[in-house]
């Protein structure tokens, strides 16, 4: 990868011995790894390996049954989603989570809600300070729209957009929160080659221009190898490998997991 503006720094988040069960299903078993400042870390693994569950633990959707997560030096056995958001963790979902009837701009504005000081009631009556604040937030969201090159659809209800553009709007909604850590659950799933290339470019640009640390789940190994600094591999809820893309690609346990070798 070409030289980046912000070199990879200290540890931003530590996952320490995290386990998670649903009834009898062990989604995660004693998983540990860390995420470093400004890096792009990929989590890969076969279907059902526990990748989404891991992101859900990091942003407080699920509460681990054992282990802890430390973010910016603060250790938590569990955290609620809005707390994670307030701390600077934003995410996109495996199944797009947008308001389909609302425009691109309004969906991106919802990602800004935590930043708004004046409540919705104030905005409803357009009191002076509330109006000024809303305009500032709108201007910020317009800059995200420019950055993601979706100006042409800024007023379009997202339900009418092609799938690839909806994924881009969802990225915009996450960026509106100005996250320190951005979690992306299969940002390229279901995209054609051109859409994937665009999404890769935006992820790299977000990382480089804003310094945002990114943790993404992705099945397309070509994409993973191209854009990630490090890779964590899960299989049946356990971490089976970790390292640079080259190291992971050559790991026999990873090759076996992807070829479906029984063990
Ligand atoms: N809310 C839930 N209730 C019950 N079981 C769940 C729940 N979420 C996940 N699981 C189970 O936990 C395991 C891990 O699921 P998870 O969605 O984390 O896998 P994944 O690696 O993201 O898979 P995929 O690549 O298919 O998205 C699976 O066996 C799944 O069925
Ligand atoms: Mg998943």
Q: Where are the domains of the chain?
A: 1-88+179-263, 103-176
99 lines ligand 1 (CB under 6 A): no
Residue pointed to by tokens 């309004």: 106
Which of 19, 20, 22 should be mutated for ligand 1, with most atoms under 8 A from CB?
22
State which residues have CB under 5 angstroms from ligand 2, the bound ion: 51-52, 94
What spacing in Å lies between the alpha carbon of 258 and ligand 1's midpoint? Answer: 18
Ligand 1, atom 1, lies closest to the CA of 22
- By C-alpha distance, which of 55, 86, 92 is closest to 169? 92
Atom of ligand 1 nearest to the CA of 94: 27
- Nearest ligand to residue 47 Cα: 1
27 lines ligand 1 (CB under 6 A): yes
Atom of ligand 1 nearest to the CA of 50: 18
48 lines ligand 1 (CB under 6 A): yes
What spacing in Å lies between the alpha carbon of 94 and ligand 2's midpoint? Answer: 6
Burial 219-252 (b: 16+ CB within 10 A, else e): ebeebbeebbbbbbbbbbbbbbbbeebeebbebe
pLDDT tens, residue order, the chain (263 aa) = 456 778 888 999 999 999 999 998 999 999 999 999 999 999 999 999 999 999 999 999 999 999 999 999 998 877 788 888 889 999 998 888 889 999 999 999 999 887 776 555 555 555 666 677 888 889 999 999 999 999 999 999 999 999 999 999 999 999 999 999 999 999 998 899 999 999 999 999 999 999 999 999 998 888 999 999 999 999 999 999 999 999 999 999 998 887 665 54
CB 169 within 8 A of CB 161: yes
> ∠ CA(199), CA(205), CA(211), 5° rounding?
130
Which of 52, 185, 189, 238 should be mutated for ligand 1, with most atoms under 8 A from CB?
52
Ligand 1, atom 16, lies closest to the CA of 50
64 lines ligand 1 (CB under 6 A): no
SS3 13: strand
* CATH entry, 1-88+179-263, from 3.40.50.720, 3.40.50.300, 3.40.50.2000, 3.30.1490.20: 3.40.50.300
């Amino acid at each position: 990868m070409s030289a980046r503006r912000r070199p990879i720094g200290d540890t931003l988040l530590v996952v320490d011995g995290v386990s998670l069960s649903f009834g009898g299903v062990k989604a995660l078993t004693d998983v540990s790894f860390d995420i470093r400042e400004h890096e792009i870390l990929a989590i890969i693994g076969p279907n059902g390996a526990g990748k989404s569950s891991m992101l859900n633990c990091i942003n407080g959707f699920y509460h681990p049954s054992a282990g802890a997560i430390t973010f910016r030096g603060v250790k938590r056995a569990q955290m609620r989603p809005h707390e994670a958001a307030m701390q600077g963790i934003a995410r996109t979902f495996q199944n797009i989570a947008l308001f389909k009837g609302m425009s691109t701009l309004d969906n991106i504005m919802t990602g800004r809600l935590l930043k708004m000081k004046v409540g919705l009631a104030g905005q409803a009556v357009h009191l002076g300070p509330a109006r000024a604040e809303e305009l500032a937030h709108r201007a910020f969201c317009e800059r995200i729209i420019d950055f993601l090159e979706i100006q042409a659809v800024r007023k379009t209800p997202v339900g009418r957009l092609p799938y690839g553009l909806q994924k881009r709007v969802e990225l915009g909604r996450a960026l509106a929160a100005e996250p320190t850590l951005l979690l992306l659950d299969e940002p390229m799933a279901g995209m054609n080659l051109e859409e994937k290339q665009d999404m890769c470019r935006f992820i790299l640009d977000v990382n480089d221009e804003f310094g945002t640390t990114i943790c993404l789940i992705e099945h397309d190994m070509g994409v993973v190898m191209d854009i990630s600094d490090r890779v964590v591999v899960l299989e049946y809820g356990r971490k089976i490998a970790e390292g640079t893309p080259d190291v992971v690609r050559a790991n026999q346990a990873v090759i076996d997991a992807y070829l479906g070798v029984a063990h």
